[in-house]
């Protein structure tokens, strides 16, 4: 199986997020960056499939500046075979459609049987790119999978995805795209030998022209939407602490919920 | 001059930090409360799957060649989670493994160092005796030549991993007249061995999840090929190992210090007194500032010294300085941390109480603060102040 | 004149409440001359027309076919985008449910228009270009985006945020049966089975009341007291990451970063300290009640009402009190 995992480098989960002074981005000082946790599920699933079938290759793919090489190297350290780093100044400010077009162009360069994305990136929480790419490449997809079984001989797979109060079991032909939800697997740690080997594994850097995409067709001027404001969510202030014995406190809580909040 | 970690070093740190957060921190309180060595052993096993124990060793012996700097990173991160686990791994790599790396011949390194690097075997280092602690040169365990073997008789005390290790580097007296000047020899003893027994010592102020043992040798037969290096070279090996391992002990202090500082900052932002978070009080802020300043000093000297060691320099003075300063600084830091936590910090439920207890031994083992001062002074007086 | 298309999700032939929220949102964006068109896809759905009318639809497009009874990204995506083109829709709305989160990006990909997912606020300017506000970084910030195109804009809406319109219809809506159903015999992805998950019947993200348990619940066996309170209140059960990571509840119960984001009217956090990751998933709840032994737990900083006490004492009493109240 030829497997690709598209990953994004994002601020670490526990980061404190504050708007930047111009209010159009977040304040990035002092942030540490990681591979988007949902994308890690994709890399791990790729590695598991490769191990189960006893052959295959996992390629980690990402878009972004110099620093993104670190995220890709992490993917190599956990066991991916090679990495593709798409780097081009023109990509700054591109919208989801443009990012999807660029990824689709890179993915088309090799015949992947399975392409993984995270169900969403934990920075912009959009959850659209994997689905956009599937549409552009004319591939079927399942979004938000938490279980996957590959039937290589029949070139198909069975995937589970959680919906409200139920699980959908979906049969899908390969090649296909999956976006990964928590619960799919437990991503492994990089091993020390893996870290040492990562530098020797191939990392291809591609520009837009390598992908035969003109810069002005994907740059910020072509974006269908622009971020005009990033704000902190409205702050909640502490309310009241209800004192008294347990039964007094409960009685007072019920009264407040009925009379003040009017939610009961 | 470059004070940045390399990409590999950063990846190592991130990987170990993740491992500590997920696999060690959730168990650390339980390990301490239950004196649960089995949990530490299960963590040890998980760590071997990640190749952690090969960090400082050359690739030829199954290591990753990340040197003392890599090793310091590993120990610093482990110490954020659980001192018992960190000490177990430290004794395995930094004492047992390093002794073999420093003193062993090619065959011994291939056979024993490789299995330590892979974690397949666990190591221990047995120098201290009931009558020989700081004064290690007066050790009494006797090692008599008999045919192709040496026969070991005597007792070792407070040996980390002593009753759970598979490979123990034991220092014995081959020539009572020469003592430290050529009379002490290091042996690789495999456990179990006939005549060897180990008794766990449970009642400790801290490090309650690390296996500390008394080792008893009654006519334990060790083949001559298990003499580490050459007969009579034992004391030199022991001391050089300690130079290096003092540095990693200092790195352990950094991890613990950073962890309690972060706990203290979190706590002081949450804890309200006189209608304000206590972090807004200058008395608390000054403690936080002092803790942070000391941590910066600890980091600066430890990683500078690790770099020196990786350049091939001997570090008797520098290792001792790191150990002395960092162990004492950590005690000041944990003391402030408990103070910031107030009554909570005194309660066994809070991890800061554990860090307080675990910290104290750092000023004692692997050479007390007093011994470190002697080592430093002797070196400065003999070799000059620069 | 703007035409806003609303994809109305149904389950087992019944319109979901969140679909009515999307209709309500559409209605609030329109003025005289604009049109709200509801699109309903499925089997035996014609009976749902009334609901859509009172929900505010001016026009209803019914897409009925046996094969459309279960969701298919490919089929639904094609149908909705074809209708959008035919209707020359300015804006296509749907709820950000599991289905909407899939269909929204799919339709947007086909129409290559502006996309905004999981919106909590939406406006249209005079030209019909949307300004959408949506949570990012797991709720740690919000982002407001401006669209540069007045046609084929797609937005999915966070459940429980937009109000349902419930006034009697003033005029009969136009009902159209959409017949240009594409050939669906060669779908590459097909739902073989839908297995209901055991446990709380009410979906977390759509629940009006949520009772959540955390580390303080101490074990899976004690979750029954959380469940009892949820049942008494007619709400759903949630869990913190600590409880999920400990294996006490499956991931589908998790509220917070890497779990679900919820905005109920009432959120009762029991034995949850309220780490920033948890807050990200629930801080937009209208009212928050915290029950925790630790007076320093961060959850009290965002709770409207807090009780500093053992949840094992308080929760059963609260359950009794709620039952008593409901019986009165």
Please indicate, yes or no, whether residues C21 and C136 belong to a single structural domain of this protein: yes
Domains and CATH numbers, chain B: 7-122 (1.10.540.10), 125-233 (2.40.110.10), 236-383 (1.20.140.10)
Please indicate, yes or no, whether residues A85 and A105 belong to a single structural domain of this protein: yes
From C120, C142, C177, the end of a domain falls on C177
* Cα–Cα dist A194/B330, whole Å: 33
- Report residue C44's pLDDT band, with 50, 70 and 90 as the boundaries: confident
pLDDT at position A236: 84
Model confidence, pTM? 0.90
* Cα–Cα dist B75/A191, whole Å: 16
Closest CA to A98 of A205, A7, A224, A212: A224
pLDDT at position C45: 87
* Cα–Cα dist C80/C58, whole Å: 17
Q: With an 8 Å Cβ cutoff, are B55 and A70 in contact?
A: no
Using an 8 Å CB-CB cutoff, list chain A residues near C201.
Answer: 165
Please indicate, yes or no, whether residues A205 and A152 belong to a single structural domain of this protein: yes
Give A70→chain B minimum CA distance, Å: 8
Average pLDDT score over residue span C89-102:
97
3-state secondary structure chain C: CCEEEEEECEECCEECHHHHHHHHHHHHHCCCCCEEEEEEEECCCHHHHHHHHHCCCCEEEEEECHHHCCCCHHHHHHHHHHHHHHCCCCEEEEECCHHHHHHHHHHHHHHCCCEEEEECEEEECCCCCEEEEEEEHHHCEEEEEEECCCCCEEEEECCCCCCCCCCCCCCCCEEEECCCCCCCCCCCEEEEEEEECCCCCCCHHHCCEEEEECHHHCCHHHHHHHHHHHHHHCCEEEECHHHHHCCCCCHHHEECCCCECCCCCEEEEECCCCCHHHHHHHCCCCEEEEEECCCCCHHHHCCCEEEECCHHHHHHHHHHHHHHHHHC
Continuous H helices in chain A: 37-53, 68-78, 96-107, 129-137, 192-198, 215-218, 246-255
* Cα–Cα dist A175/A139, whole Å: 7
Residue C49's CATH number? 3.40.50.620
Q: With an 8 Å Cβ cutoff, are B10 and A70 in contact?
A: yes
Q: State yes or no: pLDDT of B25 exceeds 90.
A: yes
Using an 8 Å CB-CB cutoff, list chain A residues near C108.
Answer: 97, 128, 132
Residue C265: both structure tokens together: 């009217």
The reply to whether B357 touches chain C by the CB within 8 Å rule is no
The reply to whether B55 touches chain A by the CB within 8 Å rule is yes
pLDDT at position B294: 98
SS3 assignment, position A241: strand
Using an 8 Å CB-CB cutoff, list chain C residues near A230.
Answer: 136, 141-144
State the angle between helix axes of C223-233 and C311-327 in degrees (0 to 180), rounded to the nearest 10.
20
Kindly identify which residue of chain C lies nearest to residue B268, measuring between CA atoms. Answer: C296
Q: State yes or no: pLDDT of C205 exceeds 70.
A: yes
User: Looking at C56-65, C92-101, C200-209, which range is the least confident one?
Assistant: C200-209
Q: With an 8 Å Cβ cutoff, are C298 and B271 in contact?
A: no
Q: State yes or no: pLDDT of C169 exceeds 80.
A: no
- Report residue C200's pLDDT band, with 50, 70 and 90 as the boundaries: low
Q: Are A18 and A27 in contact (CB under 8 A)?
A: yes
Q: Are B167 and B123 in contact (CB under 8 A)?
A: yes
Domain that holds residue C21: 3-177
- Report residue B279's pLDDT band, with 50, 70 and 90 as the boundaries: very high
Report the DSSP pairing between strands C3-8 and C91-95: parallel
Q: For chain C, what percent of residues have pLDDT higher than 70?
A: 98
Q: What is the DSSP secondary structure assignment for residue B209, as one 8-state letter?
A: T
Kindly identify which residue of chain C lies nearest to residue A25, measuring between CA atoms. Answer: C143
The reply to whether C185 falls in a domain is: no
pLDDT at position C8: 97
pLDDT at position C170: 65
Q: For residue C165, what are the contacts with CB-CB under 8 A and spacing of at least 6? A: C20, C23, C24, C27, C28, C54, C55, C56
Please indicate, yes or no, whether residues C233 and C320 belong to a single structural domain of this protein: yes
* Cα–Cα dist C227/C319, whole Å: 10
Please indicate, yes or no, whether residues C131 and C217 belong to a single structural domain of this protein: no
Tell how far CA C102 is from the center of its chain.
13
Residue B251: both structure tokens together: 């790195």
Residue C229: both structure tokens together: 């309170």
Q: Are B36 and B209 in contact (CB under 8 A)?
A: yes
The reply to whether C303 falls in a domain is: yes
Q: State yes or no: pLDDT of C167 exceeds 80.
A: no
> Predicted ipTM?
0.94
* Cα–Cα dist B319/B245, whole Å: 8
Tell how far CA C260 is from the center of its chain.
11
pLDDT at position A165: 84
* Cα–Cα dist B26/C258, whole Å: 19
Q: State yes or no: pLDDT of C247 exceeds 80.
A: yes
Residue C285: both structure tokens together: 């709840």
Is the C-alpha dihedral spanning B289, B294, B298, B301 positive or negative? positive
The four Cα atoms B170, B377, B76, B299 give a dihedral, to 10 degrees, of: -160
Q: With an 8 Å Cβ cutoff, are B272 and C296 in contact?
A: yes
Domains: count for chain A: 2
pLDDT at position C197: 77
Domain that holds residue A254: 234-264
Output the average pLDDT for chain B. Answer: 96
Please indicate, yes or no, whether residues A174 and A64 belong to a single structural domain of this protein: yes
pLDDT at position C199: 58
Using an 8 Å CB-CB cutoff, list chain A residues near B19.
Answer: 189
* Cα–Cα dist B174/B179, whole Å: 8
The reply to whether C186 falls in a domain is: no
Q: State yes or no: pLDDT of C277 exceeds 90.
A: no
* Cα–Cα dist B277/C30, whole Å: 48
Tell how far CA A13 is from the center of its chain.
12
The reply to whether B272 touches chain C by the CB within 8 Å rule is yes
- Report residue B320's pLDDT band, with 50, 70 and 90 as the boundaries: very high
Q: What is the pLDDT along chain A (264 residues), one digit of tens a residue?
A: 999 999 999 999 888 899 999 999 999 999 999 999 999 999 999 999 999 999 999 999 999 999 999 999 999 999 999 999 999 999 988 999 999 999 999 999 999 999 999 999 999 999 999 999 999 999 999 999 999 999 999 999 999 999 988 899 999 999 999 999 999 999 999 999 999 999 999 999 999 999 999 999 998 999 999 999 999 988 888 889 999 999 999 999 999 999 999 998
Rg (CA), chain B: 21
Please indicate, yes or no, whether residues A238 and A211 belong to a single structural domain of this protein: no
Q: For residue A1, what are the contacts with CB-CB under 8 A and spacing of at least 6? A: A49, A50, A53, A55, A56, A57, A113, A114, A150, A152
The reply to whether C273 falls in a domain is: yes
Residue B349: both structure tokens together: 């439920």
SS3 assignment, position A148: strand
Residue C239's CATH number? 3.40.50.1220
Please indicate, yes or no, whether residues C170 and C304 belong to a single structural domain of this protein: no
Q: State yes or no: pLDDT of B385 exceeds 90.
A: no
Give A99→chain B minimum CA distance, Å: 27
Using an 8 Å CB-CB cutoff, list chain B residues near A190.
Answer: 11, 15, 50
Residue B342: both structure tokens together: 């107030």
Please indicate, yes or no, whether residues A72 and A170 belong to a single structural domain of this protein: yes
Average pLDDT score over residue span B111-123:
97
Q: Which contiguous run of DSSP H or E holds residue B300?
A: helix B282-310
The reply to whether A94 falls in a domain is: yes
B50 → closest Cβ in A34, A189, A198 = A189
The reply to whether B120 touches chain A by the CB within 8 Å rule is no
Please indicate, yes or no, whether residues A12 and A65 belong to a single structural domain of this protein: yes
Closest CA to B241 of B139, B131, B366, B108: B366
* Cα–Cα dist B180/B234, whole Å: 8
pLDDT at position B91: 97
Please indicate, yes or no, whether residues A176 and A256 belong to a single structural domain of this protein: no
Closest CA to C280 of A229, A13, A7: A13
Please indicate, yes or no, whether residues C81 and C221 belong to a single structural domain of this protein: no
Please indicate, yes or no, whether residues A72 and A10 belong to a single structural domain of this protein: yes
Domains: count for chain C: 2
Catalytic annotation on B328? no
Is the C-alpha dihedral spanning B267, B268, B273, B275 positive or negative? negative
pLDDT at position C172: 78
B-C CB pairs within 8 A amount to: 6
Chain A contact probe: residue of B4, B6, B8, B11 with most A CBs at under 10 A:
B11
The reply to whether C67 falls in a domain is: yes
Please indicate, yes or no, whether residues C166 and C303 belong to a single structural domain of this protein: no
Please indicate, yes or no, whether residues A117 and A91 belong to a single structural domain of this protein: yes
pLDDT at position C258: 83
Please indicate, yes or no, whether residues A214 and A247 belong to a single structural domain of this protein: no
Q: What is the DSSP secondary structure assignment for residue A188, as one 8-state letter?
A: P
């Amino acid at each position: 199986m030829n497997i690709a995992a598209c990953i994004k480098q994002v601020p670490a989960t526990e980061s404190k997020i504050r708007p930047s002074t111009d209010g159009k981005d977040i304040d990035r000082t002092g942030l540490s960056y990681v591979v988007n946790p949902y994308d890690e599920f994709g890399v791990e699933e790729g590695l598991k499939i490769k191990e189960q079938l006893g052959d295959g290759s996992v390629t980690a793919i990402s878009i972004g500046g110099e620093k993104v090489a670190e995220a890709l190297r992490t993917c190599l350290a956990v066991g991916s075979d090679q990495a593709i780093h798409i780097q081009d100044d023109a990509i700054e400010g591109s919208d989801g459609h443009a990012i999807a077009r660029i990824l689709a162009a890179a993915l088309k360069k090799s015949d992947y049987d399975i392409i993984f994305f995270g169900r969403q990136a934990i920075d912009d929480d959009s959850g659209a790119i994997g689905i956009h790419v599937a549409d552009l490449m004319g591939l079927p997809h399942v979004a938000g999978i938490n279980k996957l079984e590959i039937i290589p001989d029949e070139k198909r797979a069975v995937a589970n995805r959680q919906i409200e109060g139920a699980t959908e079991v979906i049969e899908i032909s390969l090649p296909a795209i999956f976006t990964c939800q928590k619960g799919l697997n437990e991503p492994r740690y990089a091993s020390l030998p893996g870290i040492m080997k990562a530098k020797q594994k191939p990392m291809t850097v591609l520009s837009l022209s390598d992908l035969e995409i003109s810069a002005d067709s994907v740059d910020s001027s072509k974006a269908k939407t622009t971020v005009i404001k990033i704000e902190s969510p409205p702050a909640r202030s502490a309310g009241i602490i209800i004192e008294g014995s347990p039964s007094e406190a409960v009685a007072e809580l019920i009264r407040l919920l009925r009379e003040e909040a009017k939610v009961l | 001059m470059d004070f940045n970690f390399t990409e590999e070093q950063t990846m190592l740190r991130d990987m170990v930090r993740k491992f500590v957060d997920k696999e060690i921190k959730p168990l650390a309180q339980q390990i301490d409360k239950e004196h649960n060595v089995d949990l530490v052993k299960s963590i040890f096993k998980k760590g071997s799957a990640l190749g952690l124990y090969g960090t400082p060793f050359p690739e030829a012996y199954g290591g990753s060649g990340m040197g003392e700097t890599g090793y310091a990173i590993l120990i610093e991160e482990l110490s954020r989670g659980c001192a018992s686990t960190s000490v177990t791994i430290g004794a395995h790599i930094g004492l047992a493994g390093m002794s073999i790396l420093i003193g062993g011949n090619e065959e011994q390194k291939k056979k024993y160092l490789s299995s330590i690097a892979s974690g397949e075997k666990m190591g221990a280092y047995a120098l201290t005796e009931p009558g020989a602690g700081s004064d290690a040169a007066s050790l009494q365990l006797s090692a008599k030549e008999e045919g192709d073997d040496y026969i070991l008789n005597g007792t070792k005390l407070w040996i980390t991993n002593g009753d759970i290790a598979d490979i123990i580097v034991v220092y014995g007296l081959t020539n009572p007249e020469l003592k430290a000047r050529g009379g002490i020899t290091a042996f690789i003893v495999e456990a179990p061995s006939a005549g060897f027994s180990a008794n766990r010592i449970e009642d400790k102020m801290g490090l309650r999840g690390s296996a500390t043992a008394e080792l008893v040798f009654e006519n334990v037969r060790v083949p001559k090929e298990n003499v580490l290096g050459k007969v009579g070279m034992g004391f030199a090996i022991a001391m050089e190992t300690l130079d290096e391992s003092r540095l990693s002990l200092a790195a352990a202090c950094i991890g613990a210090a950073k962890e309690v500082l972060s706990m203290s900052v979190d706590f002081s932002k949450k804890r309200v007194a006189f209608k304000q978070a206590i972090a807004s009080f200058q008395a608390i802020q000054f403690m936080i500032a002092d803790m942070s300043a000391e941590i910066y000093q600890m980091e600066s000297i430890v990683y500078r010294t690790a770099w020196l060691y990786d350049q091939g320099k001997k570090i008797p003075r520098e290792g001792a300085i790191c150990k002395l300063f960092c162990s004492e600084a950590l005690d000041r830091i944990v003391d402030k941390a408990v103070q910031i936590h107030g009554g909570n910090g005194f309660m066994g439920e809070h991890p800061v109480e554990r860090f307080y207890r675990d910290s104290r031994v750092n000023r004692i083992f692997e050479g007390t603060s007093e011994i470190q001062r002697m080592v430093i002074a002797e070196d400065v007086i003999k070799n000059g102040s620069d | 004149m703007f035409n806003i298309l609303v994809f109305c999700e149904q389950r087992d032939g019944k319109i979901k409440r969140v679909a009515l929220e999307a209709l309500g949102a559409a209605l609030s964006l329109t003025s005289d001359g604009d049109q709200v068109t509801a699109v309903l896809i499925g089997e035996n759905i014609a009976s749902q027309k009334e609901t859509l009318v009172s929900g505010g639809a001016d026009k209803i497009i019914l897409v009925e076919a046996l094969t459309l009874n279960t969701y298919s990204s490919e089929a639904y995506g094609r149908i909705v985008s074809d209708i959008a083109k035919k209707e020359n829709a300015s804006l296509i709305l749907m709820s950000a449910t599991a289905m909407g989160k899939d269909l929204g990006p799919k339709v947007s990909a086909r129409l290559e228009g502006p996309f905004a997912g999981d919106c909590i606020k939406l406006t249209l300017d005079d030209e019909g270009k949307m300004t959408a506000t949506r949570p990012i970084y797991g709720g740690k910030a919000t982002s407001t985006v401006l669209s540069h195109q007045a046609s084929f804009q797609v937005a999915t809406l966070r459940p429980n945020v937009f109000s349902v319109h419930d006034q009697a219809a003033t005029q009969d809506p136009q009902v159209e049966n959409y017949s240009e159903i594409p050939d669906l015999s060669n779908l590459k992805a097909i739902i073989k089975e839908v297995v209901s998950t055991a446990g709380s019947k009410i979906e977390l993200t759509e629940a009006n009341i949520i009772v959540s348990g955390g580390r303080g619940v101490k074990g899976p066996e004690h979750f029954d007291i959380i469940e009892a309170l949820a049942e008494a209140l007619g709400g759903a059960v949630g869990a913190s990451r600590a409880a999920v990571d400990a294996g006490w509840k499956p991931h589908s119960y998790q509220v917070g970063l890497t779990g679900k984001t919820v905005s109920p009217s009432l959120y009762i956090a029991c034995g949850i300290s309220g780490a920033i990751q948890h807050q990200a998933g629930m801080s937009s709840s209208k009212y928050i009640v915290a029950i925790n032994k630790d007076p320093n737990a961060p959850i009290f900083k965002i709770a409207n009402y807090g009780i500093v006490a053992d949840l094992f004492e308080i929760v059963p009493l609260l359950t009794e009190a709620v039952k008593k109240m409901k019986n009165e």
